[in-house]
Amino acid sequence: MKKLLLLAAVAIMSVCTMNAQTEIKYQGEVDLGYSLGVGEFASNRINIHTIQGFKVGDYFSAGIGFGADVYHEGGGTNIMIPVFLNMKGYLLNSSVTPYLSFDIGGGIGVGELSGVSGMMISPAIGIKTGAFKAQLGYNVQKISESGIGINMSAMQLKLGFAF
């Protein structure tokens, strides 16, 4: 995870130094989503995420995200805490802006999932109008415990606000 954060910092500094006139400003996001499990180990989950980072110019943003993925199948509630790097590329600079998003990081289990962890990757497409945003993506969550790994994939819909 430390290498991932260092890589993110280097990438942001590289983009910033390309053009000294590039405006850099804080950007925060809050998302509420639902992931519909697909595949052999399908499990639906509710997603509550926040991303805190920077918007560089009009076409790129990056930040660190965290939140809670609440798995609610099988009669119980299980929670994974995702921690990830988010990068977005905005395709237009207009009032309605489509974007591409990519998350990479890991999840840490709490409660009944304590001791379970794994890698998370989530590419998505979205649209932003004003502060409101919506995105559709594909979430891959690999969880493992004691050397046994399970891939949990899901189609993900998120609605949120950027500020």
Q: What is the pLDDT of residue 150?
A: 83
What is the structure's pLDDT at 6? 64
Mean pLDDT by 10 residues, the chain (163 residues): 61 58 92 92 92 96 97 81 97 96 95 85 97 97 79 94 95
Q: 21 burial class (0-12, 13-18, 19+ CB within 10 angstroms)?
A: exposed
- What is the predicted pLDDT for the residue at 69? 95
pLDDT score of 137 = 98
Q: Give the pTM.
A: 0.84
